Amino acid sequence: MLTRKQHELLRFIQVRLEETGISPSFEEMKEALDLKSKSGVHRLISALEERGFIRRLPNRARALEVLKQPENLGARAPVPRAAANSNETVRPRAAVVPPANDVIEIPLHGRIAAGVPIEALEGQTTLPVPAALLGAGEHYALEVSGDSMIEAGILDGDFALVKRTATARDGEIVVALVHGEEATLKYLRRENGMVCLDPANAAYEPQIYHTGEVEVQGKLAGLLRRYN
């Protein structure tokens, strides 16, 4: 049996997920339930999780999924204040929408050249990335080294977010593995049976290889940049 506060919190989370697809923050839950501190929210979340009503999605910040609801939820739990004040209407439970603005941890694999190819390093660290920047599929990140892609808005020190794929179309920016050991970030172009890796900087020349010398390991899905 759930307490009244547990019922209220469960309903508040469900309303937010149905309305926006985004889990409420702990601050929002604290305000909605008129609690004095976030520690009270943590205790309620833990209790609901232990009883199998919700679960925390791995590798994501503020991501909760409602697994079930008690049969008497509607009779016992009024809509919390924050939801009521925003004119949200509680509807019958629908399919839970995956949170849309959570943070996902993706592998960070060293530095990649945006100039002359350098060795692609396989790192063991991860990079937190807003899920909204990524689409479907498996992704990883590489730190950009060099300035050969500056005319495409890719600067030294940026983090390239890469969708893992072995195929790409001409004109797409790809991670290309050259001779099985060096990786570079370039525009892909095929011409006369050769593979051309084109820079986005007039100071650099295209790199031209035989087809068997180049392997596409992914294509650019987004960028992260630090300002410090």
Q: Which residues are catalytic?
A: 148, 186
Structure tokens at 71: 């049969």
Spatial distance between the Cα atoms of 12 and 35, rounded to a whole number of angstroms: 14
Q: How many CA atoms lie within 13 A of 183 on its CB side?
A: 22
Structure tokens at 218: 């992914």
Structure tokens at 99: 């949170």
Contacts with 77 (C-beta within 8 Å, 6 or more apart), sequence order: 4, 7, 8, 10, 11
DSSP 145: E
Spatial distance between the Cα atoms of 79 and 8, rounded to a whole number of angstroms: 7
Of 149, 138, 127, the closest CA to residue 206 belongs to: 149
The 10 Å CB-count burial string (b at 16+, else e) for 39-61 is: ebbeebbebbeeeebbeeeeebb
How far is the CA of 44 from the CAs of 21, 65, 95, 104, 228, in angstroms?
21, 14, 23, 24, 38
